[in-house]
Structure 1
Amino acid sequence: MTTILQSFREQILHAAEQGNAVQIRGGGTKTWYGQQPEGEVLDTRAYSGILAYEPTELVLTARCGTPLSDIETLLAEQNQMLAFEPPHFGAEATLGGMLSSGLSGPRRPYVGAVRDFVLGATLMDGKGQVLEFGGQVMKNVAGYDVSRLLAGAMGSLGLILNISVKVLPRPFAETTLVFALSEADAIKKMNQWAGQALPISGSSWHVGRLMLRLSGAEAAVRSAKQVLGGEEMNDAGTYWHSLREQTQDFFSQDEEHGLWRLSVPATTSALPLTGKSLIEWGGAQRWLFSDETPATIRAAAVAAGGHATLFRGGDKNTDVFTPLSTPLLNIHQRLKDAFDPAGIFNPGRLYKDF
């Protein structure tokens, strides 16, 4: 592995000297996310392997190029899991891509996001230096936690080498209930149930059907089923997996206008936008295919107290992520300058001028 690290360092230093962009890529399953990638590819897949796993401590450390499928298989053997359900979007998905994209699945609002489970990370910066942040326990940082800052940074701050994450036990029991509800009624119900002591671990509404996943102790799940009613779903595991991986029919619609991801307060009523939608995360995440202009979609999200992202497809000439305010952009730029002074790592992937 020392030879691989040296080749990474040489490629980075050469790019910095020449002023050339470097495109950090693992399995390439999320190259469509964000702005169009640019530069010479730095392939992380050779740098793979699980470095440490302590089931009793609920901690796993692995190299960036390690396939997510390998990690999940190992965890399943110990009846454990990555609780935030990171989407793969392809068999070649890697641990580094998981952290860089910062994406979480259906369980995210009930257990936390990717960044909440990151305990530590090792980074190679734009000067070829290997920097370590955090550790392998939950309380390990006093001050600014850089390891969690890497979640969703799209590789713009450096090459992530190693990652330590907290894992959780799989629930003893799990079931999914289905309710026939309108969009407005589904949003009300999801928020009503969120305020109760119910073992909810997933929620999704689409075309008149609300799906509610319950996970936990058998007694808790059984009691919740009696309180909530509804109809039990068969093969629920396949449903939630297809939702996580966006292989459901809803997500294969009009790529011309693009799939929008709207993040809004969970209590937000149905948004005044035309098109087809799917709701997740208790109402906080709205997926939308619409022929409305990007400005109209973003204005509706902002008016609701949230923001909108052009998640997949559409016109990449527009901003994929909601433009930052000047103060926030300045903070981002200072961080970028500190870790990547030559500006070689995934330039423009997050924002065109970043």
Structure 2
Amino acid sequence: MDDALQTLADKLRNASERGRPLRVRGGGTKDFYGQRLHGELLDLRPLTGVQAYEPTELVVTALAGTRLAELEALLAEQGQCLPFEPPRFGVAATVGGMVAAGLAGPARASVGGVRDYVLGMQLINGRGELLKFGGQVMKNVAGYDVSRLLAGSLGTLGVIAEVSLKVMPLPPAECTLLFEWSETTARQQLNRWGGQPLPLNASCWADGTLAVRLRGARAAIEAARRSMGGELLEGERASRQWSALRDQSLPFFRLAPGEALWRVSMPDTATPLNLGPTLVEWHGAQRWLRLPQDAAVHVRAAAARAGGHATLFRGGDGQAPVFTPLSAPLQRIHARLKQAFDPAGILNPGRMYLDF
């Protein structure tokens, strides 16, 4: 174990013995996400650097404190990328934070999410023990896939020290098409296109305009353009728009005083919620809403009726739960996992749910 890892392990062991809460943090760009921040800061930025990269094998291994921008630049030099387009929310975003948050960008519905690309991981648990899960190849799991379990756990189960990720080649061609449609018409057309052999990669509907990004072979892109119609959005402008959607810097995401941003995950065939200003992603499966801070009961009820659930993403008043409350069976499973990985309950206490 190198010096930086040993220092972290010693801090965790000491904190566990004393029952002292720790706040696990990388670049801090996602501090807004989750229920609360609590405990002595455990800074992961000293764990930095790409440990291994095999472009021909489509695998990269990086320490948790490595900046996401640094990793993506390295991949781009080899014509490769993280296809799930993790949101950065700032230049300080790290690889460990990307996995811990488990957030994916516009292409999620077409290519999969963060956990689909996690091959292996090194983790320091709440006892200060260094554990290794998975590996650096795509078929490496026998039994329970702990590496993927940790994606989206917000540091509540352990400190991610190192991650091995599957990467993919950059697409040879892409284009963005625009359509002036209502939310219902856009959703219905996306559902129809989804049943056809089209290179759909991402979609976004807001304020009466649907943007659809196509990615793939040039011949497939040209054929799809002729079939789908629409107005072509110039390449550089399209790139800026999708990047702004990925990092939530579009005007839609600017909250007024007293507003909160809700993320609703639901079947892509579900009808509009009609609760307030809406932006639709993932071909209809992810819907962002700007609503008053006290709208938790209404938005969660509407999401449940549609077969989904709602997350209070930004702007909460500290009263409503950020994540949809768990059923009793799921609550027991979460509690047992927390007890197994972090028996003293010192890691990001209350970040996901206030009772653990």
- 1:242 matched to 2:249? The reply is no
**Displacement, 1:255?**
5.1
Between the aligned partners of 1:243 and 1:68, the Cα distance in structure 2 is 17
Q: Is the 8 A contact 1:55 1:78 kept in 2?
A: yes
Q: How does 1:315-354 map to 2 (within 5 A)?
A: 315-354=317-356
| Partner residue in 2 for 1:232 | 232
| Partner residue in 1 for 2:256 | 254
Between the aligned partners of 1:188 and 1:66, the Cα distance in structure 2 is 41
**Displacement, 1:4?**
1.2
Question: Amino acid of the residue matched to residue 329 of structure 2?
Answer: P
Q: How does 1:154-169 map to 2 (within 5 A)?
A: 154-169=154-169
Please report the RMSD computed on the Cα atoms of aligned residues, expressed in angstroms.
Answer: 0.9
**Displacement, 1:253?**
2.5
Structure 1, unpaired ranges of 5+: none
| Partner residue in 2 for 1:174 | 174
Q: How does 1:267-286 map to 2 (within 5 A)?
A: 267-273=269-275, 275-286=276-287
Is the partner of 1:10 in helix, strand or coil? Answer: helix
Between the aligned partners of 2:351 and 2:257, the Cα distance in structure 1 is 20
Between the aligned partners of 1:187 and 1:109, the Cα distance in structure 2 is 14
Q: Is the 8 A contact 2:11 2:128 kept in 1?
A: no
Between the aligned partners of 2:316 and 2:334, the Cα distance in structure 1 is 26
- Cα deviation code 1:186-220 (max 9, x no counterpart): 11011111111100111000011000000000000
Between the aligned partners of 2:84 and 2:59, the Cα distance in structure 1 is 14
**Residues 46 and 255 of structure 1: CA distance in aligned 2, closer, same or farther (over 3 Å):** farther
- Cα deviation code 1:74-118 (max 9, x no counterpart): 000001000000000010000000000000000111010000000
- Cα deviation code 1:43-81 (max 9, x no counterpart): 000111001000000000000000000000000000100
- Cα deviation code 1:5-52 (max 9, x no counterpart): 121112111211111110000000000100121000100001110010
Is the partner of 1:290 in helix, strand or coil? Answer: strand
- 1:132 matched to 2:128? The reply is no
Q: Is the 8 A contact 2:9 2:130 kept in 1?
A: no
Question: Amino acid of the residue matched to residue 79 of structure 2?
Answer: N
- Cα deviation code 1:230-284 (max 9, x no counterpart): 00012210010000000000001325231000001000011142x2110000000
| Partner residue in 2 for 1:296 | 298
| Partner residue in 1 for 2:313 | 311
- Overall identity of the aligned pairs, in %: 55
**Residues 215 and 26 of structure 1: CA distance in aligned 2, closer, same or farther (over 3 Å):** same
Question: Amino acid of the residue matched to residue 321 of structure 2?
Answer: D
Question: Amino acid of the residue matched to residue 285 of structure 2?
Answer: A
- 1:82 matched to 2:82? The reply is yes
| Partner residue in 2 for 1:47 | 47
Q: Is the 8 A contact 2:255 2:290 kept in 1?
A: yes
Higher mean displacement: 75-84 or 15-24: 15-24
Q: TM-score, normalised by structure 2?
A: 0.98
**Displacement, 1:349?**
0.2
Q: How does 1:27-176 map to 2 (within 5 A)?
A: 27-176=27-176
Q: Is the 8 A contact 1:255 1:314 kept in 2?
A: no
- Cα deviation code 1:312-341 (max 9, x no counterpart): 112122100000001001001101101101
Structure 2, unpaired ranges of 5+: none
Q: Is the 8 A contact 1:263 1:286 kept in 2?
A: yes
- Cα deviation code 1:165-195 (max 9, x no counterpart): 0000000000000000011101101111111
Between the aligned partners of 1:26 and 1:272, the Cα distance in structure 2 is 37
Is the partner of 1:243 in helix, strand or coil? Answer: helix
Q: TM-score, normalised by structure 1?
A: 0.98
Between the aligned partners of 1:278 and 1:78, the Cα distance in structure 2 is 34
Between the aligned partners of 1:293 and 1:250, the Cα distance in structure 2 is 18
Question: Amino acid of the residue matched to residue 301 of structure 1?
Answer: A
Q: Is the 8 A contact 2:199 2:216 kept in 1?
A: yes
**Displacement, 1:3?**
1.6
Question: Amino acid of the residue matched to residue 171 of structure 1?
Answer: P
| Partner residue in 2 for 1:3 | 3
Is the partner of 1:12 in helix, strand or coil? Answer: helix
Is the partner of 1:296 in helix, strand or coil? Answer: helix
